Each structure stands twice: as C-alpha cells, then as structure tokens.
Amino acid sequence: MVALAAAIRRLDAPEAVTRDAVGFLAEFGVAGPDAQALLARGSQRFLIYRTLVHNRLRAATREFIPRTAARRGKEPFIADFAAFMAEHASTSPYLRDVPGEFVAWVVPRWQADASLPGYLGDLARHELLEGEVKNAPGGGESPTGSPLALDAALVFDGSTRLMQYGWAVHRLPYATDDRSDPEPEPTRLLVYRDADAKVRYLELTPWAASVMATLAVGNEPLGRGLSVAAQALGEPLDDDKLAKAAMLFAELADRGVLLGAR
Amino acid sequence: MSNPSSGITGVGLGLRAAFIERVERGEADGKIAFLEVAPENYMHRGGKAPRRLAAIAERFPIISHGLMMSLGSPDRFDDGYFTDLREFLGRVDAPWHSDHLCWSGIDGVLLHDLLPVPFTTASAIHIAQRVREAQDRLGRPMAVENVSWYLQLGMPQKDEPDFVVEVLERADCQLMLDVNNIFVNASNHGFDPYQWLAKVPLERVVQLHIAGHDRWEDDLIIDTHGNEVREEVYDMLAWVIERTGPKPVVLERDSDIPPLATLLEEVARIDTVYQAAVGRWQRQQGVARHG
Ligand SMILES: [Fe+2]
C-alpha cells in the first residue's frame, strides 16, 4: 500500500517507475513475487491509479476554481496539482474539501512566484468561497432573542465569511476565457448563505470590515470590539463610526446574518 | 448477523447532484423503487443538498452506500467521520450501510479512490475486524462491495471470490454485489464471471449494483460508471436474481450523466430483466415447494 501510495503521490514516480520499476518497489521493501504481481501488466499499468486519482481530484478542483485554473494554464495547473499531491494531498474524507485543501497549499506558492499575476491567489480564494459558503455545515441558525448589549459578543449566521483581497477579483467577468486584469484595489467582502440557500456577497467599507473582523471573527464583546476595530484603523471611535456601525448591524439583522447578542 | 430485511426490493437509482433537483420535484416518482445515496455528499454539510435529501427521503426509501470508510487501510478509523455517518444513517433510516473492499488512504492522507487490497488471509482478517468495528460504531449491519481492480497488490494467496468469501465469513456481514465490477475484472484479468459468481454465498447478497464502464486501453476497461449497462451485465444480474429472489438493485451513473429521463428509461429496462428473473425464481420456489 505504501508503494502504491508513493506511485500515486510522489512527483518523480512516473519517471522513476518508467526507468526502474523494480528499484522503485524495492525502496518500499516490495520485492520477489509481490513485486512481480504488481508489475505483471507492465510498469505503466502500475501507474494507472496515479492517473485515475490525479484526474479525478484535479477535475473536482477545477470545477470549484474554473477561472483560476484557466488563467493558470492547463499544463502549469496539472504540475501545481501534482506538487500538491506530493507535498500535502488531502486529509479530509470529503471530496468537496479537496479544492480548498489545494488552494490553501498553492496560494502562498503562487504569491511567492513573481512571474505569476499577483491576483491569482485572490481569485482562487474568491472562486472557492462560493462552494465553501454554499456547503458550510453552519448556517441557518435561529436568532438568539437577546438584544445587542455592549458587554456581550454578537452571534452571526454560521455560514458567514469575511474575505480581504488586494485586487477586485469579485468584479472579474465569469467567462473562463476572459483574461482581463482586476483592479489593484483593497477589497473586503462579507459572504453568507441566505434563507433560500443562495450565496450572497456584500462589499464592506474599511470600517465595516474592521468591525466584522473583531466582532464576527475575533468574537470580542460589542463595546470593546468597536474600540479595537477603530484602533486597528488608527482612527478615533467617533459618532460617525458608531452611527455607521449601527446601520451595519441593522442591515445584517435584516439580512438574517446578525442573529443577536450571545 | 441475520440478513437485514428492509423490505426494499426492485430497481432503484444512485442519487447524484446532477439530478437531485428533478427527483425532488417528483420526476422520478413511481419510476424507481428507492434511492441509494453516498452519505459523504450530505454529511458535515449545510445548505440545499441536505435539505433536498430530507424532502426526498419522505417519499422514497433510502439505502446508504459510502465511499470513504477505507476498510483495507492500516490507519485508525476517523472518529469524526463515524459520528457523522451514524447520525446520517439515523436521519435517513437506512436499513444497512455498505462500503467497498478497498482502501482509500494511508498515513493520514486520503486519496479519494477505491484502491485494491491484497487477496491474502491477513488482509481478509484485517478487513473483517474493521467491518465488525464499523458495525458496532454505526449500530447497523454492514455490507461490503466487490470493487473493480486494475492491479494485484502483491502476490495473491487466493483468487478474488475466495477472498471475498473469507471476508464475509470472518466478518459475518452482507455482500453488496456489483455485477459490473465482476464483468470489468473478468474482462481485464481473463476469468469467467460466472465461475466468480458460483463461488460466493448468494444468501449473503443484500443488494446489487449495476453500471456501465469505458474502454481505456485495448486490454483495460475502467469502471467509470459513465456508460449504458451492457448486455452481458444484464445477463449476470438476471443470473443472480434468479437465484436470490427479489433484492434491491441500484443503477449507478457517475460520469457523462444523461438527463434523468434517459436514466429512468434505463431503470425501466433493468426492471424488465429483473422482473423476468424474479418470475423464474418464483417458479423455482413453486417447484421446490410442491416437488
Ligand atoms: Fe458499485
């Protein structure tokens, strides 16, 4: 099993097995009749599961991030995926988690590669979001029934995600053959699943995003959270900010995203 | 373990995302006996998919067929997976749960495929012990499915049917018999599918799978579930049903999925073969009773 897993995962497996399949198996202590049985139909047949596994998982991933995969290009995407399989691979029993596992692994590598467009990682994270929020195990919880209070944390719908991008990737056309560049523009999105199970996107101002980062992600109590959110922007917590926070809460409550105080 | 009698018989369909909406709208009503679902598609998941399944489960009996138990793996079972699976089986009131005679991952990495196990006694003992543990954890009977395999994972001590029998007896579990997989293996490895069938205890068959497949290379067909069922596979289905009597039979389709209406026509064709075989079984029973 270890030898077959290595043939499926290792980056050099196709080359190593083609060159010396017996030597490849010997590395895993597989020799004699066991090696003969594995190689009975030739070394390329030994690689069939590698082809099947990569094709299946890569296709599932491409389905979740079609525009990113198209912009990356066919062969580079295949190579990225092979490297992901070799260095990390999936640890989730759910096939629908594989695209997210791949994106989490590949984005830092894409960002470190100056030859790639800087927005590619943001586009991947953005495309992935639709599936992630659509299928999030949380979401659809009932309102807490408690009114907002300064000393209590807020409760948000379990499908809620806060995203920050360096590029306005959310405004790119949906066509997979589109190659236009997104605006280099700091972008903050609140994403959630509504009562009809549709994924909804809200563009946030820097202030609203800072509030959501401390309250929804950081779980701070409301009063303290607002101070921390203002500090994070290096700005005072003035009446204008309080009024805008109140408007944000009203809109989010209206949309069923803010469920009340804990 | 006694044969779980759910009362579910006839021809059903493997539920897929491609047509779940149409099934929910009632387009399969009266045309299939039940639905088989892959629990992994609904476990640990919110939103529309589990909601749709709940609505569908009100109208059809549900049979559960998993993909990721990884019975042949040396890795420990994933506690979270079993907790979610047990909860799921309760939710759809599944009479049993089946998974494959394969492994899907090792050393904590999951490869999301049905990988072959060695046909040895050590492997049968390991799998049988895992099946027993799974039955305990799930609180339901388990059935294991024979898979399509493209490699011998090491020198076999026995042939595949002997291996399957050893697992069934050691685990005292049911067989989820996939006749297409036997056909695929017979064609790839050059054996007679009926000799395979003759070796397994048909009284342990709790359910059947039927599907199509694709030619990959001259000497290799792959169990893609991406094609119509072949004549030879219909014949094998009939051969089994003639001997077992009524069982649930599932049409599986996973790639190049045609419109639901086309799949339902195929279900109807399978049902014609199935009913004729049940008729022959009934006549046999009559002969046995009176003669
Ligand atoms: Fe099957």
**DSSP for B234-261, written as a single string:** HHHHHHHHHHH-S-EEEEE--SS---HH
Taking CB atoms and an 8 Å limit, are B154 and A136 in contact across chains?
Answer: no
A160 and A237 share a domain?
yes
Taking CB atoms and an 8 Å limit, are A91 and B109 in contact across chains?
Answer: yes
Report the SS3 class of residue A18.
helix
A182 and A254 share a domain?
yes
- Looking at the complex, report in whole angstroms how far the Cα of residue A10 sits from the nearest Cα belonging to chain B: 13
- Looking at the complex, report in whole angstroms how far the Cα of residue A35 sits from the nearest Cα belonging to chain B: 6
Kindly provide the residue ranges of all beta strands, DSSP E only, lying in chain A, ordered along the sequence.
154-156, 161-165, 187-193, 199-203, 258-261
In a domain? residue A35: yes
Dist. CA B225 → ligand 1 center (Å): 9
A73 and A174 share a domain?
no
Whose tokens are 């109208």? That residue is B59
- Looking at the complex, report in whole angstroms how far the Cα of residue A254 sits from the nearest Cα belonging to chain B: 20
A159 and A71 share a domain?
no
The pLDDT value given to residue B48: 94
Dist. CA B145 → ligand 1 center (Å): 7
Which positions in chain A touch B116 (Cβ < 8 Å)? 4
Q: Is B75:B121 a contact under the CB 8 Å cutoff?
A: no
In a domain? residue A148: no
Position B1 pLDDT exceeds 50: no
- Of the listed ranges A237-241, B174-178, B223-227, the least confidently predicted one is B223-227
Position B245 pLDDT exceeds 90: yes
The count of domains in chain A is: 2
Q: What is the CA radius of gyration of chain B?
A: 18
A7 and A107 share a domain?
yes
- Evaluate whether the domain defined by B10-290 bears CATH number 3.40.50.300: no
Please give the backbone phi and psi of residue B37, each rounded to the nearest 5 degrees, phi first. -125, 150
A100 and A165 share a domain?
no
Last residue of a domain, one of A96, A116, A136: A116
Query: Mean pLDDT across chain A, nearest whole number?
Result: 97
For residue A64, give its domain range. 2-116
Last residue of a domain, one of A68, A101, A116: A116
Which positions in chain A touch B158 (Cβ < 8 Å)? none
Listed as own residue / partner, the contacts of B162-168 with beta carbons closer than 8 Å and 24 or more positions apart are B162/B119, B162/B199, B163/B101, B163/B119, B163/B120, B163/B123, B163/B124, B164/B101, B164/B200, B165/B199, B165/B200, B165/B201, B166/B121, B166/B124, B166/B128, B167/B101, B167/B124, B167/B127, B167/B128, B167/B131, B168/B144, B168/B200, B168/B201, B168/B204
In a domain? residue A22: yes
Q: Is B270:B249 a contact under the CB 8 Å cutoff?
A: yes
In a domain? residue A221: yes
The pLDDT value given to residue B5: 59
Position A182 pLDDT exceeds 60: yes
The pLDDT value given to residue B287: 82
Last residue of a domain, one of A61, A94, A116: A116
Angle CA A69–A79–A62, to nearest 5: 25
- Looking at the complex, report in whole angstroms how far the Cα of residue B138 sits from the nearest Cα belonging to chain A: 17
In a domain? residue A164: yes
Among B78, B106, B219, the residue with its CB nearest the CB of A93 is B78
In a domain? residue A53: yes
Report pTM: 0.95
d(CA A241, CA B123): 66
B154-183 pLDDT, tens digit each: 999 999 999 999 999 999 999 999 999 999
A6 and A112 share a domain?
yes
The pLDDT value given to residue A217: 93
* Portion of chain A with pLDDT greater than 70, in percent: 100
Among residues 93-132 of chain B, which lie with CB inside 8 Å of chain A?
103, 106-113, 115-116
What CATH number is attached to the domain comprising A160? 3.90.930
Residues of A with CB under 8 A from a CB of B: 1-2, 4-5, 8-9, 30, 32-34, 36-38, 40-41, 45-46, 48-49, 52-53, 56-57, 89-96, 98, 134-140, 158-159, 193, 197
Among A9, A38, A90, the residue with its CB nearest the CB of B151 is A38
Predicted complex ipTM? 0.95
d(CA B179, CA B250): 11
A97 and A171 share a domain?
no
B77, B111, B127, best to mutate vs chain A, most A CBs in 10 Å: B111
The pairing of strands B35-37 and A187-193 is unpaired
Q: Read off the pLDDT band of B6 (50, 70, 90).
A: confident
A14-44 pLDDT, tens digit each: 999 999 999 999 999 999 999 999 999 999 9
Helices (H), B58-140: 79-92, 121-138
Taking CB atoms and an 8 Å limit, are B115 and A37 in contact across chains?
Answer: no
In a domain? residue A27: yes
Q: Is B17:B41 a contact under the CB 8 Å cutoff?
A: yes
In a domain? residue A230: yes
Q: Is B102:B115 a contact under the CB 8 Å cutoff?
A: yes
Dist. CA B62 → ligand 1 center (Å): 16
Residue B278: closest CA among B230, B243, B233: B243
Q: Read off the pLDDT band of B289 (50, 70, 90).
A: confident
- Looking at the complex, report in whole angstroms how far the Cα of residue B245 sits from the nearest Cα belonging to chain A: 35
User: Stretch A109-118: mean pLDDT, rounded?
Assistant: 97
The pLDDT value given to residue B2: 43
Q: A236: how many CB neighbours lie within 10 A of its CB?
A: 10
d(CA B180, CA B164): 16
Angle CA A235–A236–A237, to nearest 5: 120
Which DSSP symbol is given to B216? E
Q: Is B254:B224 a contact under the CB 8 Å cutoff?
A: yes
Structure tokens at A35: 């090696």
A112 and A162 share a domain?
no
First to last CA, chain B: 31
